[in-house]
């Protein structure tokens, strides 16, 4: 049971503190996964990264139409103007003695709107959009990695509860047999012609003490599992959860060959597919940078309107009167970045990043192959343990029946019956632990191979 502790410790990192549970509600594995994943901070964080990547796609698409469109308004208090030589209002600019009249203050208002529309940029906008869309796929695969790891841990947690319930039932059943032997020993010792060996009595007492220790360990582990469940599921007030599966059974899944799992990992592991999407995104981004550094044709326009009622507008086109004006202009422009060293460095940096990602993919493939091989070895060994333990358990049951009959007929020894019962109990516990190990090993193997996780029976 000590092996549960690392699993629970990892899960405690994934969820924030909040425990609410009172009444009992049984839930299936899928319901447990859905609820726990919905509460997971890791998944929420991964979703946010996907949303950010999707936002960058929208940003890139926005570059297609009027990427630069600006409106500006300006307001100020300005003085009026006076003509000491009494020039007409529209000819004040001809008066050499014209001056600001600070006895009159008016409001100056100017409005400006300008924009630029790319006409031909060698497809740079579409390349940027494509690169951003590939980055979204890479983020989604990254989220799949997080979800697969969390699901595998939650699978162990769900069946840890089932295992704890199974062991609790086994110990309850064994407890009745222990009491039966204790009563038989007490009756035998009370008889006048008792032939009970004191050595057998000491052995039984030691066995009983060890049995009580196992019971206490199971009780504490069960309490711990219940606490972690409430912690992970964040049940509502007056609600606590239990697994709807009450018995731990071996998953009906046949182990395939190691090559089958390796081939599947190459094709399906989200880490590999995410890195491949990242490499393609960088390749598109390099194309975007190259296109951006070619001469681009743009269409632009600007309109300015200014009004200051307290100052007269001068109609002469050679006289600038910014306080009262209306101007508009439109035309085409060619833009070219002439800093060639800067252009070269940007492209070179992107190529290095793509090379780094390619090497990372190779390293990930190496690590995944080791992970698949190790998971396959564990699953294979767990399968052998379950088969051999089932055979040994059947033998031990026959041994217990034989010793029980001999003891009932008075020809058997207590120590032999205790040894047989102890062996049967240990094998029954081992059988359930090995089934748990096999089922979780298969989940880890499927995760390593990029396959869907095994669904439970009776779900």
Sign of CA dihedral 204, 169, 250, 151: negative
Lowest mean pLDDT among 107-116, 186-195, 273-282, 415-424: 186-195
Q: Report pLDDT digits (tens) over 111-131.
A: 999 999 999 999 999 999 999
* Residue closest to 152 by CA, chosen among 459, 442, 458, 457: 442
- 244 pLDDT more than 70: yes
Cα distances (Å, whole numbers) of residue 103 to 82, 99, 100: 10, 12, 9
Rounded to two decimals, what is the model's pTM? 0.77
Rg of the Cα atoms in the chain: 40
CA distance between the termini of the chain: 25
Residue the block writes with tokens 């052998």: 384
- 155 pLDDT more than 90: yes
Distance, in Å, from the CA atom of 167 to the CA atom of 176, rounded to the nearest integer, reads 15
Contact status, residue 438 vs residue 379, Cβ threshold 8 Å: yes
Mean pLDDT in the chain?
87
Q: Report pLDDT digits (tens) over 416-435.
A: 887 888 888 889 989 999 99
- The confidence band for 322, taking pLDDT boundaries of 50, 70 and 90, is confident
Residues contacting 315, CB < 8 A, separation 6+: 90
Mean pLDDT of all residues in 181-202 = 74
Distance, in Å, from the CA atom of 326 to the CA atom of 112, rounded to the nearest integer, reads 10
- The confidence band for 236, taking pLDDT boundaries of 50, 70 and 90, is low
The number of beta carbons lying within 10 Å of the beta carbon of residue 105 is 11
Per-residue model confidence (pLDDT) at position 16: 42
- 19 pLDDT more than 90: no
């Amino acid at each position: 049971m000590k092996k549960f502790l690392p699993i629970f410790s990892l899960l405690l990192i994934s969820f924030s503190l909040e425990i609410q549970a009172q009444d009992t509600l049984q839930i299936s594995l899928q319901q447990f996964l859905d609820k726990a994943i919905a509460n997971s901070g890791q998944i929420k964080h991964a979703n946010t990264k996907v949303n950010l990547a999707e936002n960058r796609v929208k940003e890139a698409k926005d570059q297609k139409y009027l990427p630069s469109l600006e409106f500006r308004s300006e307001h100020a208090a300005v003085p009026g103007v006076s003509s000491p030589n009494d020039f007409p209002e529209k000819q004040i600019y001809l008066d050499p003695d014209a001056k600001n009249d600070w006895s009159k203050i008016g409001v100056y208002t100017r409005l400006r709107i300008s924009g630029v529309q790319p006409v031909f940029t060698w497809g740079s906008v579409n390349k940027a959009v494509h690169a951003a869309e590939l980055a979204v796929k890479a983020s989604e695969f990254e989220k799949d990695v997080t979800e697969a790891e969390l699901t595998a841990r939650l699978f162990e947690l769900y069946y840890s509860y089932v295992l704890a319930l199974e062991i609790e039932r086994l110990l309850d059943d064994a407890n009745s047999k222990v009491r039966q032997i204790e009563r038989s020993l007490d009756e035998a010792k009370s008889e006048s012609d008792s032939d009970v060996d004191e050595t057998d009595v000491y052995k039984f007492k030691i066995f009983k003490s060890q049995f009580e220790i196992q019971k206490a360990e199971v009780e504490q582990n069960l309490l711990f599992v219940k606490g972690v469940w409430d912690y992970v599921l964040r049940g509502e007030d007056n609600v606590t959860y239990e697994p709807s599966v009450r018995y731990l059974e071996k998953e009906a899944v046949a182990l395939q060959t190691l090559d089958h799992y390796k081939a599947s990992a190459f094709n399906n592991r989200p880490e590999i597919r995410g890195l491949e999407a990242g490499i393609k995104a960088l390749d598109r981004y390099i194309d975007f940078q190259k296109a951006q550094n070619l001469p681009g044709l743009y269409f632009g326009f600007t309109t300015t309107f200014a009004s200051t009622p307290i100052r007269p507008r001068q109609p002469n086109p050679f006289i600038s009167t910014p306080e009262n004006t209306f101007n508009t202009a439109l035309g085409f422009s060619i833009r070219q970045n002439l800093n060639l060293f800067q252009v070269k460095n940007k492209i070179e940096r992107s190529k290095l990043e793509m090379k780094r990602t390619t090497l990372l993919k190779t390293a990930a493939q190496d690590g995944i192959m080791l992970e698949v091989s190790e998971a396959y070895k564990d699953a294979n060994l767990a399968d052998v343990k379950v088969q051999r333990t089932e055979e040994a358990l059947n033998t031990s049951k026959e041994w217990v029946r034989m010793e029980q009959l001999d003891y009932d007929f008075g020809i058997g020894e207590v120590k032999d019956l205790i040894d047989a019962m102890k062996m049967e109990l240990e094998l029954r516990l081992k059988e359930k632990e090995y089934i748990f190990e096999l089922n979780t090993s298969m989940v880890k193997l499927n995760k390593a191979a990029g396959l869907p996780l095994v669904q439970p029976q009776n779900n």
